[in-house]
Structure formats: C-alpha cells, structure tokens
Amino acid sequence: MPRTPLLLLSIFSSFFPAVRAAAQLSPLQVEVNAGVWLPSADLSGVMDVEGPASGDASFGVHFALTRGRIIYLLGFTENRFACREGACATEASFVSTGWDLGFRVSLRESGLIPWFRLTGNAGVAQTRLGGPGAVMIESDRGWGFEVGAGFLVPLATRFALSPGIRYGRTDMDFPSQGNLETRHMIVGLAFILGF
C-alpha cells in the first residue's frame, strides 16, 4: 500500500516532459477558431439599425509563423450578429467577413502558455434589412482591430488547443445608410495544427 502514492506521483510526473515537448510546435501552423460574437455596446450609426445587438457565431482561419515567442498571424474571420428582436426600427442581420493581420506573443515557452494578441482587420458586411421581402445591402470596406488574451494548451508535438477572449471594434460604411459601429467580445477556442 505505501507504494501507491509513489506510483501515482511517478505516473503524474511523467506527464510533464510530454507537455514540455509538445509545446515546441513547428514554426508554421494553421489555426481554426470557433466562438461566439457578443456585443459590448449597442449598434450605432446606421439609420433604423441602432440599438441593442444579439450575438451569434464567429469563425476564422489563420496561418501562423513563429519566431521565438512572437507568432505572426494572417487569415480571415467571419462574425454574425443582428439587432436584438424588436430593438431596432428595422429588423436587421449582419455577416461581417474580414482579413486579419497581426501577432500573438507567448509569455512562456513550455507547459500551459499564456498569450496576448493584437490584430488589425479590413472587411465588409452584408446586411439583410427587413422581414419578408428583405433587402440585401453590402458595406464598403471597413477597418477595425482586436486585442485578446488566452492560453495555449499543447497536446502533442503538432497539435494544441487555445481558449481565449478578444475585444474588438469595427466601423463599416454603408452607402446612403451611414457608418455602422460595432463593439464586441469574442469568446472562442482555436484548434492549432503544426506542419
């Protein structure tokens, strides 16, 4: 019976070298992000579409290049959101798709790795205005940014998970409608695969 704690400790400690080795992901990676877009402020700036927003899905794919503790990111993100039912003068739903360019900084090199990131984005939004017989309009290119933080959880030498949260702001101009301002949080999980 006295050997049981030693056996458990031995098994438990053998896990740490595997995690340390798994943290050494290859320099080139692809990240698939899935999450939820949550409003942090009301929609504003577009006639008849001002008021509380409702959250929906967020999805993205990014390529990452690692140089030391800095990871450079390039990819795209698609966010879906809408006016909360009955909150705006006109029923509206949005699909915003944008290109992202930025970087992530790892605060450690092994084990559970905290990180923070900053990205700029350029994108367009397609909007469905009204109920039955809705009109579809598209914005001109808009600009925004996101800042975020999270953890990298290495599971194998070429695979990791990365939960995180991001705050973002985007402004998109709809001709003859106005400039749509969005403020949001994205809570998500990234699946990271190294090459």
On whether the pTM is more than 0.85, the answer is no
pLDDT of residue 24: 62
Q: Report the half-sphere exposure of 58 (CA within 13 A, side-chain side).
A: 23
Average of per-residue pLDDT values in the chain: 86
Distance CA 136, CA 134 (A): 7
Distance CA 122, CA 116 (A): 20
* 69-90 pLDDT, tens digit each: 999 999 999 999 998 877 887 8
Do 141 and 122 form a contact (C-beta atoms < 8 A)?
Answer: yes
* 125-139 pLDDT, tens digit each: 998 887 677 788 899
Domains of the chain: 3-194 (2.40.160.20)
Mean pLDDT of 54-75: 95
User: Would you state the structure tokens that stand for residue 99, as one six-digit string?
Assistant: 């290109």
Distance CA 144, CA 173 (A): 12
pLDDT of residue 177: 78
Helices (H), the chain: 3-22
* 104-158 pLDDT, tens digit each: 999 998 889 999 999 999 999 998 887 677 788 899 999 999 999 999 999 988 8
pLDDT of residue 2: 52
Do 147 and 121 form a contact (C-beta atoms < 8 A)?
Answer: no
pLDDT at 12 over 50: no
pLDDT of residue 86: 79
User: Comparing C-alpha atoms, which of 119, 92, 94, 88 is closest to residue 104?
Assistant: 119
